Structure 1
Amino acid sequence: MFTLFKIDRFLLCVFVVLLSSFPLAAVAKNDSKTFSQQKHYRHIMFRETPYASYRGIHPISDKVSETNAHYQFSYDDKGRVNEIRYQMGEQLIRDNEVWDSFIWFAPKVSISYHKDKEIHTYYNAQNQQIAAHGNVFKAVYALDKNGKRIALSFFDETASPVESAWHIHRYEWRHEGGKVYEKRFNLKNEQQPLRPEFKFYEVELTYDEDNKLTFVKNLGLNGTPTNNESGAGIDRIIYDQNGNFTRWQVYSKDGNPVEGNRPMVHIGEHLYDTFGNKVGLRGFDKFDNRKTFSWGAFEHESTYYPNGNQKSHKIFDEKGQLSRHLLLEYNQAQSHISWLKSLDENNQLTASPMLGGAAALKYEYLDDGSRSPTLFNSDLSEFKAQKMKTGE
């Protein structure tokens, strides 16, 4: 059965590597909570792990934020970030297929500070606290005497220990020689990889003088430089002057170029427009030749509406032939997706495997925040072959 979950998961795979599903968002206007300061950014900086703090890039004015999708950072009277909202104007929205980071799980994150800990809670677009990224209702950072993060644990609504969607309950960090060393554990105290599809276990994280992550080195399960099954042992991450994550490069533990990890390329390259929107993705082998990603795409191409919502996504094969084209349409408030449409090279509706053989999908949003999908044929008659589930 082709469920809504499968469609959402496929879309995230299309835009980058297979990522976790994001919580559903209807809309909720900015609440009345007051802050000492607020700033607005079109995007947030890439985070490979939750060790790094959230950081906005591509700042915009209050006026521009009124009509554009953006992250609103709010600060307490000590200058600490205590809330981040992804919103259109003042309405919370879901990600709308805009990928900035592996570590962004809800339309709103609230942060509270205590003597030796920092607590993050998550909210949907109706401004209701939710369990995000699995059943994580609360994320609790442990801090050392200098305020550095040394651990992170996840808990459910009853305050019981819980695992994230990546099977992680606890992160542990130690600081040594200017590096950060990270391990992850499930509820059985077994080490877990960075993500299920990224088989680095203990890692050495290197941050530059601007606190951007630049190297991730795999130390395996024994604390020594290790290659995973793909031959990868090091990921190098490169940014442009705006803070956009522009490239990753894959090396063996000895520093030799390899085509590894899930994408099975040596270099992955993200392309951006002037607003920081990710408009392209392409891969290269270790000889700097273009290479097809492991999921079959040779090149990804995306376009955006003026307000920052994604408009379309295309996948091309090695011959330059269009293999998939997805058009996204939104409700009048531009707060959530109303239609997904599969188009051919002539921009006509066409059946697509990603929609289970249908050509279009329409979402109806319900009062409880869930959404009801309906599939259609290319002539917009209702697609009857498979029944989809209702929900997030």
Structure 2
Amino acid sequence: MSKKAKWLSFSIIAIMVVVLAGCGSSKEGNTGGNSKASDNGMTITAAGSTFVNPLFSKMFSEYNKLHADIRVNYQSIGSGGGIKQLTEGTIDFAASDAFMTDEDISKVKNGVIHIPVTVGAEAIIYNLDGIDKGLKLTQETLADIFLGKITKWNDAKLKADNADLSLPDLAITPVYRSDGSGTTAIFTDYLSTVNPEWKEKVGQGKSVQFPVGVGGKGNEGVAGQVKQTPGSIGYAELAYAVNNNISYAQVRNKDGNFVSPSLEAATLAAETAAANMPADTRVSIVEKSGEKAYGIVGFTWALLNVEYDDADKKKAIIDLVKWAYRDGQQYSEELLYAKIPEAIAKLNDTNIAKIQ
């Protein structure tokens, strides 16, 4: 081999060594500890309530703009599904519109803290051609529809409360949640509160045996089922009714007034609850008194563990949830959810400080 050839060979080998060394250094710098968190960020996994999903989608998107290294993977699978995953330890936190019982909490290895993040109203949505507003329902007629006792829209009881409407001779198709649902828990809590027969025969819970009707998965599924089924009636968080342009009824309240679900009604419920909030925040707020009160309302709670093994993940979760019930509340009203009152936010501060 000539001197020139030897020199070229040596140069190529030297360049390859430098390149390989650089690649090795880069790979080493991207593994482990803070370097990985800094370069790749952190993903917080959560699951549960479909009731709160429109608000969470907005909140978590805005939070990521402020904290580009933090991403939230939220699965809108229903409160029951979220609680199941929290119990199994496969997510960082859950969201539920039904608070957990002492028995439920005892099954979670690292404990549970309830943090209210919003208050919402449930709309009684319906599909009646030519009647896009003005339908009135009493506590009795609403319960009787879902009990299967009122089966036609021109039933005498419905006509008595809706003399100004031309109700059709059309079968009623109730639509309910087919999955474990906090939205169902609020709705059946309401029906159990206002109707003794419902309380005795069906009861309250995330999953109950509805006497009649068809099921839909998630608030999305119920809204979709009602929208495509003439004569149907169902229940869904108000945002789903508004966003899908679905008609919803006025429901008679405890004071005897017919009231529509609204941001104002949800806000009133939140403020009323704040005055007598238990320390652990587990409380029902359906069917409260007030001229403008609306009966079918409830909290959504972020369900956090009392203990987290990963200190960095724990801090990220606490920072995120604190932001949600404080600064993140600025996005509530545009999506028809009520802001968390300051008294409840302070209670949240106390409870979230217990996380180890």
Pairwise TM-score range, normalised by the shorter structure: under 0.3
**Larger RCO: 1 or 2 (CA < 8 Å, sep 6+):** 2
TM-score normalised by length of structure 2: 0.23
TM-score normalised by length of structure 1: 0.22
More strand by share: 1
The structure whose Rg is larger is 2
